[in-house]
Structure 1
């Protein structure tokens, strides 16, 4: 062996370790970039095919309960936030003054009839039926308008609309029958009695007295609960001034706010799953009812003022969100549907096994995350 071969330097162990370390860092960096790229692509695809949002709210009809007559509250029949049935008495206004007014109206009608030699009892009974039928018809109209509006929004089914039409038709028929009976009773008065000004005035006063007496009982407009009231017997109730707030439990839906880019594949009837913060760990079912076609974006110009131009531009500008109505079955999430409660929502727009499976897993993880929010 030559002297040069004996004195040649051997490779440094530190140089080899440095190269291996750089190669390892490169691999980790490439792996992280690959994972980020995959997650980014998954987000783009999932946002179109299984869109989700955590901006969901439970919604329902909230109605102020307002007395139509004034008087002292004689009784409070309910406790706050207890389940109620439609027509259940909420409170009673002292009816004494209105009973006296009814008796006076009946006496006035009798006096008017006696002067013409007629019997007024049948007329009074027939008029009471007409008054009751008119009140029922008015209630049927209000309920049917509400149902038709909810059917148009997709919250209620066409069968509900058919039932509302049938109830409205029945109420109209009942009113027509009651008016026919009243006409027959008036015919017994004779032509002079029917056209007599005194009799007609007495009949109108009697109708008003009967209506006012019926209004001394304040009843629930539908199934639901009464909330936001602190009342006790003896408080004076003024007509037109709300006493309490009524929350309907018949018609409850979820209003979810999705990014505009997420709406492309969503359509009414799509299957929906959602969670409620009030029920951590539970997942509920629903269907997509409707998508709002517009929102107020704060750019309504006023006459005499120049147009305002938004400065929010660029690729990463703030996304616009649109309300989407989620329809619930009557029994779905019953007992957990608090108006204003927050919800996480996911919509399945197709039948893809992989994406739907990942969405199924995500919404259940979100439901358990409600424990720590």
Structure 2
């Protein structure tokens, strides 16, 4: 009988199932390997963070100078534009001077009047002192004559004594008038000085180099004393504030070198140095605001407490422009 080739496919024989004990061993092996990898990563992370202190919770800041006028009045000119760079002493705005000049003129007239009255009371005092001197001399003369003539001269002495008493009272009264007028003159001079100072405050000058920020004042607006009118981003106080976890700060000391990544100028690291480490933070956001508050949560995840560390760029490039409030990242090798 001849051999014939069949076209039917040949099914592979089914493999024998692995024993249950072998499957459990594989699962246990994979679990052990996974735990070992996690422990290794944790160990590497602990070693790495003991040599490198990194945070991306950092930002650029500087002093923000809030300029408020010292007097209330209508603004008659605004001498700067928004985002304009200014130098210390530059004129920012002018308040209407007329009302303040009128007060100065009034105070000058009061000072002049006080000076005239002061001269009058001084003249009265001088005259009263002359009368007292004359009465005293007359009394001394009458007393000497009484010793040489009859006792009837006693009436003359008594009259001279009364005249001396009256002259002394006149001197005391004139002296008190001089004291009072001195006070009036001093008050008039102080009022004039205040009026002149208020007049000088109608010109608002910038107290620091910087950039005008968010200018919203216009001619015709009313400037109120003590109310912020213009804000200046200080050009001299630039720094980086980096919030570091508690376990880092013990090894961060002033003067230690650091590296800064600026989000406004990416792909470059800038050298910096630690200026200081905050010695205290607020535990809650609703306190007086004097202590810094760093939120301990992010995306519903609670983090460890973080403390602000202040960094200062070392020899920044002259063309580097910093922006208050921009993000940064910092790297320090403890």
Taking structure 2 as the reference length, what is the TM-score of the superposition? 0.62
Could you tell me how far 1:204 is from its partner in structure 2?
Answer: 0.9
Q: Which residue of 1 aligns with 2:232?
A: 246
CA shift digits 1:270-324 (9 cap, x unpaired): 10110111111222121112222232234999xxxxxxxxxx9xxx973222111
Answering whether residue 329 of structure 2 is matched by residue 344 of structure 1, we say yes
Q: Is the 8 A contact 1:193 1:199 kept in 2?
A: no
Partner of 2:131: none
Where does the alignment leave 5 or more consecutive residues of structure 2 unmatched?
1-14, 16-29, 121-176, 288-296
User: In 2 relative to 1, CA 238–206 (structure 1 residues): closer, same or farther, beyond 3 Å?
Assistant: same
CA distance in 2, matches of 1:220, 1:325: 26
Aligned counterpart, 1:159: none
Asked if 2 retains the 8 angstrom alpha-carbon contact of 1:286 and 1:327, the reply is yes
Whose Rg is larger? Answer: 2
Distance in 2 between residues matched to 1:113 and 1:299, nearest whole Å: 59
Say whether residues 1:61 and 2:63 are aligned partners.
yes
Q: Aligned ranges for residues 32-181 of structure 1 at < 5 Å?
A: 39-117=41-119
Give the one of 274, 281, 287 matched to 1:295: 281
Unaligned runs of 5+ in 1: 1-14, 16-27, 119-190, 302-311, 350-373
* Count, aligned residues: 241
- Secondary structure of the structure 1 residue equivalent to 2:267: coil
Does the aligned pair in 1 maintain the 2:270–2:313 contact within 8 Å?
A: no
How far residue 346 of structure 1 moved from its aligned partner, in angstroms, is: 0.6
- Within the alignment, does 1:267 sit opposite 2:242 as a pair? no
Contact 1:67 1:241 in 2 (8 A): yes
Taking structure 1 as reference, are residues 329 and 67 closer, same or farther at Cα in structure 2, changes over 3 Å only?
farther
Q: Secondary structure at 1:281's aligned position in 2?
A: strand
- The RMSD of aligned alpha carbons is 3.7
Find the residue that maps to 1:67 and give its secondary structure: coil
- Asked if the contact 1:116/1:193 (under 8 Å) is kept, the reply is no
Do residues 277 (structure 1) and 247 (structure 2) align?
Answer: no
Deviation (angstroms), 1:214: 1.0
Q: Please, which of 213, 225, 241 is the counterpart of residue 227 of structure 1?
A: 213
Aligned-partner Cα distance in 2 for 1:94–1:64:
21
Number of the residue aligned with 1:149: none
Mapping of residues 307-326 of structure 1, within 5 Å: 318-326=303-311
* TM-score between both structures, scaled by the size of structure 1: 0.56
Distance in 2 (alpha carbons) for counterparts of 1:330 and 1:207: 46
